[in-house]
Structure 1
């Protein structure tokens, strides 16, 4: 090959290589090392870098959550840490009061027990006076105080309906309850007039002591001596809606 042709070929190759290098620099991105250095450089605005994580457990306990709901659940109130409060216990249901039962035509079996056919109802708060009980008056003579107590109680009842605090008006055997005629409590009437004693712990004990002091009923003399037996006082007016 001639020297002139060889020089021309070499010069052409050099020009082509120069053009390729220029094009590569124009279309290629920034140097990767430059990008990494820019990312590692501090913010130009002067912002501080985030602090390194702490290993202090006390600091982590006092840290507040950064969610949106944290503003409604502060860690402290008036400078005092929140305390867990036990849930209040549910209220216990109150026992239902006894229902009143209206019982017609009671018969006094004795001074303290009512009879309704084969069923018996003992009045609460009193010790019933047996109808065969005998008592002694001041001169030592005996008199049938139990029978007179029963008679006076029957005269007081006069077969009128009584209202008693029973759970069920259809009991069997013997039940115990407080009963009234109108507003007059039957147990109180017996104790106040001395025809029955108040039971231990009964609210009628004071009335019973008064009846003993005044020698009423079974605590006194035979009322048949010297004067006819006075009828018992009438109870309060009965319910006008009660046909009996």
Structure 2
């Protein structure tokens, strides 16, 4: 009986050993297909498909460049070196260019203090004189009215303009405050154009082709200023 027991024990050991070997082989076969992928392999294989299906990431600087390029009023073209001009600089240049286009045509009013009245239409500043545009100055020695009723209308016209100004400053459309001899231009006391005031009140005739001709004609028909009676008799 003892040899049989020994033989049975050996067979059992062989069977157990075989089962263990079979189990080990099965475990190795199962884990070989599920071997973990390294981080480097994941970066080179998994990332491209994910990026292909999603919008690419974009930096703030790049987004700002794209937005500027789609604006209706774009700045100057991008230089060859790829740099983008700053909006503030381009807007300043545009404003400067617009100013250079319009400035030469418009004269900036120049303030002149204490004008002296030579007559109704001619002002003086020392040796320099200003002829009010749009009218024919009324000589200070002009006489108006029929025989027997004549009156010094020229002196009255001069006095009327002096009373209007009362040594106050006026603004004149001049290129410079240092003109020479006599200059013809428009001048204003506040918002009142002096040439217009003289024409409307009949103290000066309108020059040929002047836009003040209509105002001067209305004054004549109304008997104002030069076209009326001696105001001292009223």
Fold similarity call, TM over 0.5:
yes
Partner of 2:24: none
**d(CA) in 2 for partners of 1:181, 1:135:** 28
CA drift of 1:96 comes to 2.8
Q: 1:182 aligns with which of 177, 187, 190?
A: 190
Partner of 1:205: 213
Partner of 1:34: none
**d(CA) in 2 for partners of 1:140, 1:175:** 38
> Residue 172 in 1 paired to residue 155 in 2?
no
SS at 1:172 equivalent: coil
> Residue 157 in 1 paired to residue 165 in 2?
yes
CA drift of 1:215 comes to 0.7
**d(CA) in 1 for partners of 2:110, 2:116:** 16
Q: Deviations 1:141-176 (Å, cap 9, x if unpaired)?
A: 211100000011101110000000000110111011
Q: 1:125 aligns with which of 122, 134, 139?
A: 134
**d(CA) in 1 for partners of 2:194, 2:121:** 8
Residues 44-59 of structure 1 aligned to structure 2 (within 5 Å): none
SS at 2:198 equivalent: helix
Any gaps of 5 or more consecutive residues in structure 2?
1-99
State the superposition RMSD in angstroms.
Answer: 1.8
**d(CA) in 1 for partners of 2:230, 2:149:** 9
Partner of 2:41: none
Q: State the TM-score, normalized to the length of structure 1.
A: 0.53
Partner of 1:221: 229
SS at 1:151 equivalent: helix
Q: 2:116 aligns with which of 107, 113, 125?
A: 107
**d(CA) in 2 for partners of 1:93, 1:158:** 39
Partner of 2:78: none
**d(CA) in 2 for partners of 1:120, 1:129:** 15
More helix by percentage: 2
SS at 1:135 equivalent: coil
The ranges of structure 1 where at least 4 consecutive aligned residues each deviate by more than 2 angstroms after the TM superposition are: 92-96
SS at 2:196 equivalent: helix
CA drift of 1:140 comes to 4.6
SS at 2:117 equivalent: strand
Q: 2:202 aligns with which of 194, 199, 202?
A: 194
Any gaps of 5 or more consecutive residues in structure 1?
1-91, 228-244
Q: State the TM-score, normalized to the length of structure 2.
A: 0.55
SS at 1:105 equivalent: coil
